[in-house]
Structure 1
Amino acid sequence: MSRLLRHQSAPALPAVDDLHDPALAAALQHRIDRKTVPHGALGRLAALALRLGMILGTTEPRLVAPQLVVFAADHGIAARGVSAYPSDVTWQMVGNFLAGGAAVSVLARQHGIAQTVV
């Protein structure tokens, strides 16, 4: 999915030293814990939500113009026979990413996330 994104001015990010805010961390964790899912079901997403909230300094983090970047390459590991797929699959998957047919491409499109294939 390719589209032009208008430049939007983003809020300035806090300095790394300012990220230690126990009250904000507790408020974020409380919001995460109150989601209607079994404890731990969000896996790493819960930790990511907490981290984003701490970086952005809010209990309601929002991503402005998120971007999904898919990297694809052939490398020597496939030649050693330890890769799950032969290197012929790489160009096919890149074509599928570019055509928007891969699962990750569909999810990106459904959520309005721009995708770049490198």
Structure 2
Amino acid sequence: MGRNTALETIKSQINENEIVLYMKGTREAPQCGFSSAVTKLLSKLKLPFKDVDVLENKEIREGTKEFTDWPTIPQLYMKGEFVGGHDIVREAHKSGELEQFLKDKGLLSRYQGKRTC
């Protein structure tokens, strides 16, 4: 997979899924604490998401950094928009901004009946 193919794959994944988390490992077996924390938050909010293990493909791992001009993993996308990495997602959740973002994007109401928090 070349650079352009990786960027096209990333763009496709983001456009075809409402929520995408580029992470180290998988939701069932995260390979870093930051990826694990974001996975746990999304699961706690009962938000379905596509997890992409960047450790499986170097071009995807490097492509995500180029795609967003963001140097670290995990990277969270919702409705095609880059939300942020671990620290930003955590702070947005604490401040209530994440919930407002979910409402604005129509994601909260869709999954509201399934939420536990």
Scaled to the shorter chain, the TM-score interval is under 0.3
Q: TM-score, normalised by structure 1?
A: 0.24
Q: TM-score, normalised by structure 2?
A: 0.24
Greater helix percent: which structure?
2
Considering only CA atoms, is the larger Rg found in Structure 1 or Structure 2?
1
